[in-house]
Amino acid sequence: MIAAVQSAIARLIGPRVLFGTALAATLATWIMLLIGGTVNPTGSSLACDWSPRDLIFPTCNGAAFPEMTGGVLYEHGHRLWGWLVGIFTTLTLVGAWARPEVQRRTKLIALGALLLVLAQGALGGITVALGLNPYVSTAHLVVGYSFLALMVVLSWRLAPSRSAAPHEGERLARRLIAIVALVVLLQIVLGGVIRHFGAGLVCGADPIGCQGHGLWPNHPHQQLHMSHRFLGYTAALIVLFLTFKAAPAARAAGRLGVSRLAILPAFIVLAQVALGLLTIITGEVVAVAFHTAFGGLLLANLAALWAGFGPLGHPRARHASAPDAAHPSALTPREEARA
């Protein structure tokens, strides 16, 4: 019975449909970050109550579809979009586990993605239940970004042109990419901290210093704010250095698509810095939302670059035939670990 259901799902969700579903989940996640970036600045975080049953389908003050005005528009809109992300993630997991050619590690990543999106929803609800606890709110933000990065890697692994033989191809050095991604994630954490501790605009509209208090003021919240700026500039320089190193390395290895992908972080990080300064100067919700979203876009780009520098990014994998699922020896333990 289970085999019959699995076979039916596999026929329904082919490789291209599965890949498209994973991509849809990834894009929807980025849009969710963009929408989420409007909730706190508009003061809408507590516009709706929350209960655990909202993990199944979100409601707002007892209504599934309340009047979408004021804070409800932002808060409940964010929840509804998050529910859509959860549906796409669930479909990706079901399709991945139903298809025998999908690698076991890829299936486990799909499972991890579903657990992360559930944790994201639960943290969002706990944030409301605790009256916007800044630590839980920051964790909610960070899990959202981490989920986006994981979905990028999952989508890359499920791409029909790359998932046929994940053990094929050489692995380029990607330690630097991982380090830069961790720095960017740390900057995201710090950004979440200053937002949820109310330090986002404590330095006024001064784009250089802290409103007459110099580059390192005495107040802890102002110091927190300036730390976010300093780390942002540092992260920007590191990302530019990564682009300078990664693009030629990928080009030399014959990965022209990956080399073009390696150039994008430079443009994204410069836009991110500009949006951060625009947020400081104007305090506009649109600037805050896109500043939040571009942080996710940068992390997603680095996740894709990390995947592209692995064996799945090698051009030969596109034309390799799938390993025989009936013969586990088609992949050695070492090759399976590298995949």
- Between residues 310 and 112, the one the model is more confident about: 112
How far is CA 250 from its chain centroid? 23
- Residues 104, 3, single domain; the answer is yes
CA 273/CA 187 separation, integer angstroms: 12
Domain that holds residue 235: 172-309
pTM of the model: 0.87
Q: Is residue 327 domain-resident? A: no
Boundary-marking domain end, from 112, 134, 160: 160
Q: Is residue 38 domain-resident? A: yes
For the residues 133-156, what does the mean pLDDT come to?
94
- Residues 33, 110, single domain; the answer is yes
Please report, as a single letter, which amino acid is at residue 207: P
Please tell me whether residue 314 adopts helix, strand or coil conformation.
Answer: coil
- Between residues 241 and 283, the one the model is more confident about: 241
Predicted confidence (pLDDT) at residue 47 exceeds the cutoff of 90: yes
Q: Is residue 93 domain-resident? A: yes
- Residues 137, 185, single domain; the answer is no
Q: Is residue 332 domain-resident? A: no
Return mean pLDDT, the chain.
87
- Residues 118, 184, single domain; the answer is no
Q: Is residue 188 domain-resident? A: yes
Boundary-marking domain end, from 119, 135, 160: 160
* Number of Cβ within a 10 Å radius of residue 65: 9
DSSP codes, 291-302? HHHHHHHHHHHH
Q: Is residue 318 domain-resident? A: no
Q: Is residue 74 domain-resident? A: yes
- Residues 222, 155, single domain; the answer is no
In tens, the pLDDT along 61-83 reads: 989 999 999 999 999 999 999 99
Predicted confidence (pLDDT) at residue 28 exceeds the cutoff of 60: yes
- Residues 156, 283, single domain; the answer is no
- Residues 130, 26, single domain; the answer is yes
Q: Is residue 135 domain-resident? A: yes
In tens, the pLDDT along 255-286 reads: 889 999 999 999 999 999 999 999 999 889 99
DSSP code, position 132:
S
CA 248/CA 263 separation, integer angstroms: 10
Q: Tell me which residue of 76, 145, 73, 153 sits closest to 116, measured CA to CA.
A: 145
